[in-house]
């Protein structure tokens, strides 16, 4: 179900009070905005600052009829009530995440813009959402041959070009092609295998459960070999060993002058 926001406007009395006894009542022609997270903002014509607001209320009700409207929001210590003195205007509008445009939805009955918002790619029309792995770069000029969705680049030892829909391209399978059995377990010498837990690929010893050695796969490309024998990765925060706790991967201490 698409998220909606309600915009109300009219001659209103706004009352804000707290359980500690604070109280403020104002009247004027205002615009009231209720957001999907139950935040309520009341704006007049002066400046960007709301004249009253309540963020992420525990409860929110909006009642409207031909005679006017009423908005009531409450949390554990505060209450905000807005009552109109005329019919006013009430409009319910769809809202979505906002992000960087990355193309258009390939669904024949949609075709709306798609944006990258945080760790997801979201369609502004049908609302379809696709989670992105850490460090992914989405390309708005290259699409999947099978489904038409944007392609992404993900670094897991090597650069992997994948559809943003896991149903088309499995990141775990792509990582398996690059890393499976490529390195030895530093504790027992058996192969490190690519496994998956909750959608995340990791390297675990083939000797499990006798050997429980396991490493998360960092977002980065190969950068040589660590002194411990495991690979090093060039990541967004610098070069690091596959084993993030590896003592041999630490830079040497500077010489101290006597």
- Residue 251: pLDDT over 90: no
For residue range 200-247, list pLDDT tens digits in order.
899 999 999 999 999 999 999 999 999 898 999 999 999 999 998 888
Contacts for 64-67: CB closer than 8 Å, 24+ residues apart: 64/8, 64/90
Look at residues 81, 78, 91, 64 and name the one whose alpha carbon lies nearest to residue 12.
81
CA separation for the pair 17, 40 (Å, rounded) = 14
Say how many C-beta atoms besides its own lie within 10 A of residue 240's C-beta: 17
Burial 73-90 (b: 16+ CB within 10 A, else e): bbbeebbbbbbbeeebeb
Q: d(Cα 199, Cα 184) in Å, to the nearest integer?
A: 23
C-alpha 57 chain-centroid distance: 22
Total residues found in the chain within this entry: 258
Token code pair at residue 154: 């993900």
pTM above 0.75, yes or no: no
Task: Name the token pair of 218.
Answer: 């960092």
105 Cβ contact partners less than 8 Å away, ≥ 6 residues apart:
111, 112, 113, 114, 123, 125, 126, 128
* Domains of the chain and any CATH numbers: 3-95 (2.70.180.20), 100-169 (no CATH), 179-249 (no CATH)
Q: Which of 178, 180, 175, 232 is nearest to 199 (CA)?
A: 175
What confidence tens digit (pLDDT) does each residue in 77-133 have?
A: 999 999 999 999 999 998 888 999 999 999 999 999 999 998 899 999 888 999 999
Q: What is the CA radius of gyration of the chain?
A: 27
Lowest average pLDDT, out of 13-22, 148-157, 249-258, goes to: 249-258
The mean pLDDT value of the chain amounts to 92
Strands 3-18 and 78-84: antiparallel
- Counting other chains too, the contacts that 20-29 makes at CB distance below 8 Å and 24 or more residues apart are 20/77, 24/52, 26/51, 26/52, 27/85
């Amino acid at each position: 179900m698409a998220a909606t926001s309600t915009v109300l406007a009219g001659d209103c009395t706004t009352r804000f009070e707290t359980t500690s006894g604070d109280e403020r009542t104002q009247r004027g022609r205002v615009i009231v905005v209720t957001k999907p997270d139950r935040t309520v903002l009341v704006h007049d014509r002066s400046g960007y600052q709301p004249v009253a607001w309540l963020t992420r209320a525990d409860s929110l009700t909006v009642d409207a009829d031909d005679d006017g409207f009423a908005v009531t929001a409450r949390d554990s210590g505060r209450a905000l009530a807005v009552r109109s003195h005329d019919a006013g205007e009430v409009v319910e509008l769809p809202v979505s995440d906002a992000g960087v445009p990355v193309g258009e939805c390939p669904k024949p009955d949609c075709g709306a813009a798609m944006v990258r918002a945080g760790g997801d790619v979201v369609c502004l029309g049908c609302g379809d959402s696709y989670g992105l792995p850490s460090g992914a770069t989405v390309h708005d000029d290259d699409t999947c041959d099978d489904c038409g969705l944007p392609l992404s680049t993900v670094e897991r030892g090597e650069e992997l070009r994948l559809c943003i829909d896991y149903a088309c391209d499995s990141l775990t399978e792509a990582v398996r092609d690059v890393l499976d059995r490529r390195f030895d377990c530093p504790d027992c010498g058996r192969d490190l295998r690519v496994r998956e837990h909750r959608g995340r690929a990791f390297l675990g010893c083939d000797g499990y459960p006798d050997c429980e050695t396991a490493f998360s796969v960092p977002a980065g490309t190969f950068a040589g070999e660590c002194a411990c024998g495991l690979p090093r990765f060039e990541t967004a925060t610098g070069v690091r060993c596959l084993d993030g706790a590896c003592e041999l991967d630490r830079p040497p201490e500077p010489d101290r002058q006597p």
